Amino acid sequence: MAKALDLPVAELAAAVKKGELSAAELARGALERIREKASLDAFLHVSEEPVLKAAAELDRRRAKGETLGALAGVPIAIKDALCTTDAPTTCASRILTRRGADGRPGNAAAGWRPPYDATAVARLRAADALLVGKTNMDEFAMGSSGENSAFGPAKNPLDPTRTPGGSSSGSAVAVAGGMSSASLGSDTGGSIRQPAAFCGIVGIKPSYGRVSRYGLVAFASSLDQIGPFARDVRSAAHVLQAIAGADARDSTAASVAVGDYAAACERDVRPLRIGLPEEYFAEGLDPEVAERVRAAVSRLEREGCAVRPVKLPHTRYGVATYYVVATAEASSNLARFDGVRFGLRVEPERGNLNAMYGATRDAGFGAEVKRRILLGTYVLSAGYYDAYYRKAQQARTLIRRDFEEAFRDVDVIAAPTAPMPAFRLGEKIDDPLAMYLADIYTLPASLAGIAGLTLPCGNTRARADRPALPVGLQLLAPAFGEEKLLTVAAAVERLCRS
Amino acid sequence: MAITRETVLHVARLARLELEGDEVERMQRDLGNILGYMQQLSELPADGIAATAQVATECAPLRDDALIPSLDHELALAEAPRRGGGSFAVPGFVDE
């Protein structure tokens, strides 16, 4: 069973459909792995009973001769920012927990029970996936290391003293640690791509509008996107296929036709032109990361792809632009956590409604969430709106235009995913600005709403101060260009393994 | 960039956030550093550049104007920290 769990998603589902593997055994195997690797803190909640029940039902249906779905029996983990009816949803925040008998905010087990499934979750269930549990994350997806979780950080399976990246920390750890075949995360400024890079796996940030966000706890609504993690490109493509497409419950889920992602992985890469943006190889980039990324692009060139430089001149405004736009939207989105309808409520003995809001939000939110709410409120407040928020929206236009210009000459842009490999837990936690700068290469694509993917392209050399660590190659394509990304990614995967 | 204690407290009030003890000093320092970094946006020549609030809205479909059931009343109240009379109950906020 241990070996079956490590199969690519499509092969695993095919074996379950044919009855060569039982869903019940796969569920038990995944739960066993999760127990063995509990010290990595990938999960906030393990759905033991529901997953065993769902697996038994799947085996029953197969025995009756029913045709099973595209993800039959595939163990998949879900970021705790996505609503699930059979498991608590906390966003790794105390504000989405009930108070304990001692009057203090609860733990993840006392988390909010949503009245509905997110559309992406419902689509995985409809495809007969086994949803094994909810993964750890930075509180409200705000962070780049997983350390902002109110319930303690997840650890990188390759070196537990290092961060797995964030904010979808646990979703990356679950897949890299073999606890699930795939997982869902959300990416607002790099929260799928950066942890996938740090853990040596594949992560896709689909184009804005490609996947419905219904049931995703909103952080920054003009940026948030749901996407898959997996250990190989085809498996990630398989999961994306199941969740992509329009949804009557989310008007931002675009009506653009969904491509054939499995077929895209088999297409000839040679006609595609690859762009290298010089701004992504600037000061501050770890030299070994640069070397691995350039080596992967050279392999594509030797394969027959045209490689040419492209310019993205407004890249240097990406961090400032993002942290103005994202915090402004977050300050507004997080106003709903007021202690009235769900989650934590702290009522001071004497005091009115405003006192309850203040006390609830003080007890429920962690330091980084408070920092971003304050920043967002500041940049939207009278007297500062034009200098910060309006200016950032204009910078966003310039960043979009950079990409539009570059994609006139190339099909796919190749760059590093992060400026460094996985850093140590604690290394940046006291310096929020240094943490924000770690997102420098993933933010612009989010601001432009285009498609992004990361896959491993080799390891750094082991040295005294750090072991060999994976390097992520980031690929970017125009909005709804996921198929091109997958064609290039599948080629890189093959070339880097040979 | 220097942010005063009063500014932090003012913004916290707007955001309905109570800050305790040394949190105010910490936020004062962090906001100063981060807003200082963000000031690089002021050097950006942006006259006449349109603002982007949302991308890809041109592909956003409208759904049919049809009646569909909304969230069941009891289900909506299921996680209420306090309820009364079939509603969410809150502390008083109208002066008597």
Kindly report the CATH number assigned to the domain that includes residue B22.
1.10.20
pLDDT for res B57? 67
CB contact under 8 A, B60 and A251: yes
Contact A154, A164 (CB under 8 A): yes
CA–CA dist A245, A167 (Å, integer): 24
Phi first, then psi: give them for residue A120, nearest 5 degrees: -60, -40
- Average pLDDT of the segment spanning A1-19: 92
Q: Which of A320, A356, A367 faces B90 most closely, judged by CB atoms?
A: A356
Determine the residue of chain A that is closest to B7 in CA distance.
A378
Determine the residue of chain B that is closest to A351 in CA distance.
B91
The pTM of the full predicted model, rounded to 2 decimals, is: 0.97
- Residue count (chain A): 498
User: What confidence tens digit (pLDDT) does each residue in A429-471 have?
Assistant: 999 999 999 899 999 999 999 999 999 999 999 999 899 999 9
User: What confidence tens digit (pLDDT) does each residue in A99-147 have?
Assistant: 876 767 778 788 999 999 999 999 999 999 999 999 999 999 999 999 9
Is A188 part of the contact surface with chain B (CB cutoff 8 Å)? no
Q: Is residue B80 one of the residues assigned to a domain?
A: no
pLDDT for res A1? 60
CB contact under 8 A, A251 and B38: no
CB contact under 8 A, A391 and B41: yes
Tell me the domain boundaries of chain A: 2-322+389-497
CB contact under 8 A, A370 and B57: no
Instruction: Tell me the pLDDT of chain A averaged across its residues.
Output: 96
Q: Is pLDDT above 90 for B1? A: no
Can you give the residue range of the structural domain that contains B30? 5-42
Restricting to A residues 463-492, those with a Cβ less than 8 Å away from any Cβ of B are 479
pLDDT for res A276? 98
Q: Which of B46, B56, B91 faces A353 most closely, judged by CB atoms?
A: B91
Restricting to A residues 58-97, those with a Cβ less than 8 Å away from any Cβ of B are none
Percent of chain A with pLDDT over 90: 92
Contact B61, B42 (CB under 8 A): no
User: What confidence tens digit (pLDDT) does each residue in A433-443 have?
Assistant: 999 998 999 99
pLDDT for res A330? 98
pLDDT for res A107? 82
User: What confidence tens digit (pLDDT) does each residue in A288-347 have?
Assistant: 999 999 999 999 999 999 999 999 999 999 999 999 999 999 999 999 999 999 999 999
Q: Is residue B74 one of the residues assigned to a domain?
A: no
Contact A450, A207 (CB under 8 A): yes
CB contact under 8 A, B93 and A353: yes
pLDDT for res A346? 93
Q: Which residues from chain A sit within 8 angstroms of residue B60, using beta carbons?
A: 209, 251-255
pLDDT for res B88? 96
User: What confidence tens digit (pLDDT) does each residue in A252-276 have?
Assistant: 999 999 999 999 999 999 999 999 9
Q: Is residue B15 one of the residues assigned to a domain?
A: yes
Q: Which of B18, B44, B63 faces A317 most closely, judged by CB atoms?
A: B44
Q: Which of A254, A321, A335 faces B56 most closely, judged by CB atoms?
A: A254
Q: Is residue B82 one of the residues assigned to a domain?
A: no
Instruction: Give me the interface pTM, i.e. the ipTM.
Output: 0.95
Residue A454: CB atoms within 10 Å: 32
Q: Is residue B87 one of the residues assigned to a domain?
A: no
- Average pLDDT of the segment spanning A405-427: 97
pLDDT for res A99? 80
pLDDT for res A423? 97
pLDDT for res A204? 98
The β-bridge relationship of strands A451-459 and A306-310 is unpaired
Q: Which residues from chain B sit within 8 angstroms of residue A113, using beta carbons?
A: 78-79
Q: Which residues from chain A sit within 8 angstroms of residue B42, using beta carbons?
A: 387, 391
pLDDT for res A228? 98
pLDDT for res A241? 98
Closest-CA distance, A256 to chain B, in angstroms, reads 7
Look up residue B48 and give its two tokens: 């006449």
Please give the tally of structural domains in chain B: 1
Q: Is residue B33 one of the residues assigned to a domain?
A: yes
- Residue count (chain B): 96
Contact A90, A112 (CB under 8 A): yes
A407 band by pLDDT with thresholds 50, 70 and 90: very high
Best A341, A374, A375, A446 residue to mutate vs chain B (most B CBs within 10 Å): A374
CB contact under 8 A, B62 and A375: no
pLDDT for res B47? 86
Look up residue B62 and give its two tokens: 């409208």
Is A434 part of the contact surface with chain B (CB cutoff 8 Å)? no
Q: Is residue B52 one of the residues assigned to a domain?
A: no
pLDDT for res A104? 74
pLDDT for res A98? 87
Q: Which CATH number is A2-322+389-497 given?
A: 3.90.1300.10
User: What confidence tens digit (pLDDT) does each residue in B72-87 have?
Assistant: 999 999 999 999 999 9
Closest-CA distance, B47 to chain A, in angstroms, reads 9
Q: Is residue B23 one of the residues assigned to a domain?
A: yes
